[in-house]
């Protein structure tokens, strides 16, 4: 269990985390759009970043304010895996989007094809569906990769999470069961995010 109390993190005058209070148990998922503060929060939990203020407890052990030896001991027990936004160079953009829908989400090829075109349209890349990733600009590749990760993360969260936490702008906006967050979000910001990626 990880408990976060009044966590703040700033980089110069930019406030990334703003008074985050959260308890995360096994089986829970934190979601949010790019730039919402998720990665910074994770980096603070693993002490790759020093919080500007607040407390982080892992299994009721305070980790903020620990010395280097204690940090190294913590890192032997607490790890962090970074996602890479890699596209398969031998597949088209549309095939890159489809592969996870077929293999991870269990959709038919026809369903995955239609969904991939819908998603590519949403990010302004429908006209690049049959291009290989190498023919796209870096920004276009990033949009495709983020769309793939967000789509698969949502399906994964729906299937395995006991509770979902939605972050935006460095704050916890809403938390609840996957059914509530995905089917009946109470906060307009959550509803807008879920609607944009659904």
Same domain, 127 and 37: no
CATH number at residue 45: 3.40.50.300
Question: What is the number of domains present in the chain?
Answer: 2
Model pLDDT, residue 153: 66
Model pLDDT, residue 99: 83
Other Cβ atoms less than 10 A from the Cβ of 157: the count is 19
Model pLDDT, residue 89: 84
Distances (CA, A) of 163 to 29, 30, 158: 6, 9, 9
Question: Of all helices (H) and strands (E), which one includes residue 179?
Answer: helix 178-183
Model pLDDT, residue 137: 84
Pairing of strands 163-168, 28-31: parallel
Same domain, 114 and 139: yes
Same domain, 74 and 107: no
Same domain, 34 and 54: yes
- pLDDT exceeds 60 at position 77: yes
Model pLDDT, residue 109: 96
- pLDDT exceeds 60 at position 82: no
Express each pLDDT in 7-62 by its tens digit. Answer: 999 999 999 999 999 999 887 888 887 788 988 998 899 888 999 999 999 988 89
132 alpha-carbon distance from chain centroid: 25
Same domain, 18 and 114: no
Model pLDDT, residue 59: 87
Model pLDDT, residue 149: 67
First to last CA, the chain: 30
- pLDDT exceeds 90 at position 114: yes
- pLDDT exceeds 60 at position 81: no
Average pLDDT on 177-192 reads: 92
Structure tokens at 41: 């929060």
Same domain, 98 and 114: yes
Measured between alpha carbons, how far is 3 from 1 in angstroms, rounded to an integer? 7
Which structural domain range is residue 115 located in? Answer: 93-159
Is 32:193 a contact under the CB 8 Å cutoff? yes
**176 phi, psi to nearest 5 deg:** 175, -170
Helix, strand, or coil (residue 49): coil
Burial class (CB in 10 A: 0-12, 13-18, 19+), 117: middle
Same domain, 66 and 10: yes
Same domain, 15 and 70: yes
Between residues 87 and 57, the one the model is more confident about: 57
Model pLDDT, residue 84: 47
Model pLDDT, residue 85: 56
Model pLDDT, residue 140: 85
> How much is the mean pLDDT over the chain?
85
Same domain, 102 and 113: yes
Same domain, 187 and 123: no
Same domain, 115 and 167: no
Express each pLDDT in 118-151 by its tens digit. Answer: 989 878 899 999 999 889 887 788 788 877 766 6
Average pLDDT on 167-187 reads: 92
């Amino acid at each position: 269990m990880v408990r976060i109390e009044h966590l703040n993190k700033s980089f110069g005058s930019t406030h990334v985390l703003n008074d985050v209070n959260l308890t995360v148990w096994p089986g829970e998922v934190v979601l949010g759009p790019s730039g919402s503060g998720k990665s910074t929060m994770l980096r603070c939990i693993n002490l790759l970043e020093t919080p500007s203020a607040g407390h982080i407890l892992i299994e009721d052990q305070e980790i903020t304010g620990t010395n280097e030896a204690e940090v190294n001991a913590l890192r032997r027990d607490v790890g962090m895996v970074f996602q890479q936004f890699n596209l398969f160079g031998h597949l088209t953009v549309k095939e890159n989007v489809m592969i996870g829908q077929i293999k991870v989400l269990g959709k038919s090829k026809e369903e995955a094809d239609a969904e991939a075109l819908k998603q590519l349209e949403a990010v302004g890349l429908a006209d690049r569906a049959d291009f290989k990733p190498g023919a796209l600009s870096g920004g276009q590749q990033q949009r495709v990769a983020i769309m793939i990760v967000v789509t698969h993360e949502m399906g994964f969260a729906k299937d395995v999470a006991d509770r979902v936490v939605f972050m935006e702008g460095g704050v916890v906006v809403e938390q609840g069961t996957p059914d509530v967050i995905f089917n009946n979000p109470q906060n307009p910001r959550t509803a807008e995010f879920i609607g944009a990626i659904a």
